[in-house]
Amino acid sequence: MSDWKARGEDYWREKLTPEQFEVCRRKGTERPFTGAYCDEKRPGTYVCACCGAELFSSETKYDSGSGWPSFYRALDDNHIAEDTDASRGMVRTEILCAECGSHLGHVFPDGPAPTGLRYCVNSLSLRLDPEDE
């Protein structure tokens, strides 16, 4: 088990904002079109807000119209874990940070070429490391 995954709820409550804690550790969802990265255009790398693992490149970000930052490919498939989410009366594929177990969002098979995937991610689960900074 990763050292990150062994950290308890108290650690995460201190490290994260209440909103981040709800999304990242309790599998919540931010309201559509409200996230800091929904309309973000700067080039860079999106990392896990909890542990800093590199997750997505701005080069694969696109406007899906869903209201959440969307990507058609992960930087490294080994950095994203998947689980079945049967909540809210539907079955979806949840995506989590493979390093720390943070809830990121969901992946759907309705994205653009070349992958056909839409990684639909909560802004609160991410931090952008801009290229120019």
Query: Domain map of the chain by residue range?
Result: 9-130
Tokens of 34: 């409200």
Tokens of 16: 């994260």
Q: Span 89-99, mean pLDDT?
A: 93
120 in catalytic set = yes
Confidence of residue 123 (pLDDT cuts 50, 70, 90): very high
pLDDT reported for residue 9: 87
Question: Cα-flanking dihedrals φ and ψ of residue 27, to 5°?
Answer: 65, 35
pTM of this prediction? 0.93
pLDDT reported for residue 1: 44
What's the pLDDT tens digit per position in 14-27? 999 999 999 999 99
Q: Cβ distance 50 to 104 under 8 Å?
A: no
pLDDT reported for residue 133: 63
Q: Span 58-65, mean pLDDT?
A: 97
pLDDT exceeds cutoff 60 at 35: yes
DSSP type of residue 100 = T
Instruction: Find the radius of gyration of the CA atoms of the chain.
Output: 14
Cβ within 8 Å of residue 72, ≥6 positions away: 60, 62, 111, 112, 113, 114, 115, 116, 117, 118, 119
For the structural domain made of 9-130, what CATH number should be given? 2.170.150.20
pLDDT exceeds cutoff 50 at 122: yes
Catalytic pick among 50, 97, 100, 120: 120
